[in-house]
């Protein structure tokens, strides 16, 4: 008999066909509306697996889901999972690493370039009919080539960005991470440094850390004050790793040159957010992996994880914290 899985958001027909081959299933097909908690709890009572990408997984949600084996998310990030809860109930939590690494690295480098050369700002300048003089210092940006890129959080995507920075723009690389990466250092002539030194020396400070208790507001007023006035801050991690109020003040005061942000503390970004009033910040709507090919690959990866788990097997992409607890 096929297991039953619940999909908490719309999916592509190809993904649905794959799941249908292995499982009975139900899909919440409301594009812009989350599954009501009462509906979700009722569905999970008799589900073997669930795909819940935008839902916080708490004890309240899974308390009565006695046969639930796996919860899959179409995301490399998994801060919506309460790892203690999953471990307590013996539920696998899975994510979608690897398939989006190059796509996210492309986006990060894109917003880095945009912030440094003020592409977004000057695009609006031209479209609004304000270009009435020959280019002068009013158009100046910052060079990227041969500058120092400092990466905080050197995971797979960080390494892809290093590859682009070193081979494409001949940048010097410094990084701060939970552990050193000797092979990366040798291949790209990169240097491990403490966070304070990175902030003081890097021309571009890129945040790629996971969201944990230790990384919430990792960058605040003190850290911003260490950066050079010509520095650019890029966040490709999660919004809460930056104290947004402190960043707004630093941008207003020109304590740093600019920022480029793909993630925010509140998403979508509120219409009255101070970022929207600043010229020296580049904003994108959390689109790191948002290409058709990559999102489809991520979704299929998540489907494979949910099918493996629902069938009673160990899914391929169990989140690291559960692996470290010997759940796998």
Question: How far apart are alpha carbons 177 and 289 in whole angstroms?
Answer: 23
pLDDT given at position 326 = 59
Tell me the mean pLDDT per 10 residues along the chain, length 328.
96 97 96 89 97 92 96 93 94 96 97 98 94 86 98 97 98 97 98 98 97 95 98 97 98 98 97 97 97 97 98 95 71
The whole-number pLDDT of residue 328 equals 56
Which residues make Cβ contacts (< 8 Å) with residue 5, sequence separation at least 6? 19, 23, 24, 25, 47, 48, 49, 50, 51, 306, 307, 310
* Cβ atoms of residues 241 and 211 within 8 Å: yes
CA dist., res. 204 & res. 32, Å (int): 36
How many Å apart are CA 91 and CA 73, to the nearest integer? Answer: 13
pLDDT of residue 106: 98
Tell me, letter by letter, the H, E, C secondary structure of 73-108: CCCCCCCCECHHHHHHHCCEEECCCCCCHHHHHHHH
pTM: 0.89
Catalytic residue among 30, 170, 267, 325: 267
**Phi and psi dihedrals of 96, rounded to 5?**
-125, 70
Residue 238: active-site member: yes
Our measurement of the distance from residue 10's CA atom to the centroid of its chain's CA atoms, rounded to an integer in Å, reads 21
d(CA 177, CA 192): 8
Cα 274 to Cα 199: distance, rounded to the nearest angstrom: 24
Per-residue model confidence as pLDDT tens digits over 18-63: 999 999 999 999 877 889 999 999 999 999 999 999 899 999 999 9
Rounded Cα distance between 237 and 262, Å, is 8
Helix axes 13-22, 292-310, angle to 10 degrees: 10
CA 221 to chain centre: 23
Residue in 276, 282, 244, 230 with CA at minimum distance from that of residue 260: 282
Q: What pLDDT was estimated at residue 300?
A: 98
Catalytic residue among 121, 238, 244, 299: 238
Which one of the listed residues 22, 117, 156, 286 is annotated catalytic? 286
d(CA 81, CA 85): 8
Q: Residue 239, by phi and psi: left (phi above 0), alpha (psi -120 to 50) or beta? A: alpha
245 phi, psi to nearest 5 deg: -60, -40
Q: Which among 144, 163, 161, 145 has a CA at the least distance from the CA of 153?
A: 161
Question: Is 286 among the catalytic positions?
Answer: yes
């Amino acid at each position: 008999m096929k297991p039953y899985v619940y999909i908490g958001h719309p999916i592509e027909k190809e993904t649905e066909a794959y799941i249908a081959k292995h499982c009975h299933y139900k899909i919440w097909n409301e594009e812009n509306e989350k599954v009501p908690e009462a509906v979700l709890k009722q569905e999970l009572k008799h589900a073997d697996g669930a795909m819940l990408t935008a839902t916080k997984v708490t004890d309240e949600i899974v308390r009565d889901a006695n046969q639930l084996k796996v919860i899959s998310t179409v995301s490399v990030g998994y801060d919506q999972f309460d790892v203690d809860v999953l471990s307590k109930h013996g539920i696998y939590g899975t994510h979608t690493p690897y398939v989006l690494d190059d796509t996210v690295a492309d986006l990060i480098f894109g917003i880095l370039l945009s912030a440094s050369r003020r592409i977004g700002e000057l695009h609006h300048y031209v479209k609004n009919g304000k270009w009435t003089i020959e280019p002068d210092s009013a158009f100046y940006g910052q060079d990227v080539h041969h500058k120092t890129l400092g990466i905080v959080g050197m995971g797979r995507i960080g390494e892809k960005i290093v590859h682009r920075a070193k081979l494409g723009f001949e940048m010097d690389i410094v990084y701060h991470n939970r552990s050193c990466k000797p092979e990366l250092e040798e291949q790209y002539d990169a240097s491990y440094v403490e966070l304070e030194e990175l902030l003081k020396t890097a021309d571009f400070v890129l945040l790629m850390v996971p969201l944990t208790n230790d990384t919430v507001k990792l960058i605040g007023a003190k850290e911003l004050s260490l950066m050079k006035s010509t520095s650019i801050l890029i966040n490709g991690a999660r919004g809460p790793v930056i104290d947004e109020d402190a960043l707004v003040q630093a941008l207003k005061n020109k304590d740093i040159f600019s920022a480029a942000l793909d993630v925010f503390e509140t998403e979508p970004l509120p219409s009255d957010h101070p970022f929207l009033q600043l010229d020296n910040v580049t904003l994108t709507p959390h689109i790191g992996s948002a290409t058709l090919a990559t999102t489809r690959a991520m979704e299929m990866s998540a489907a494979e994880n949910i099918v493996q788990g629902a069938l009673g097997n160990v899914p391929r992409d169990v989140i690291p914290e559960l692996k470290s607890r010997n759940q796998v």
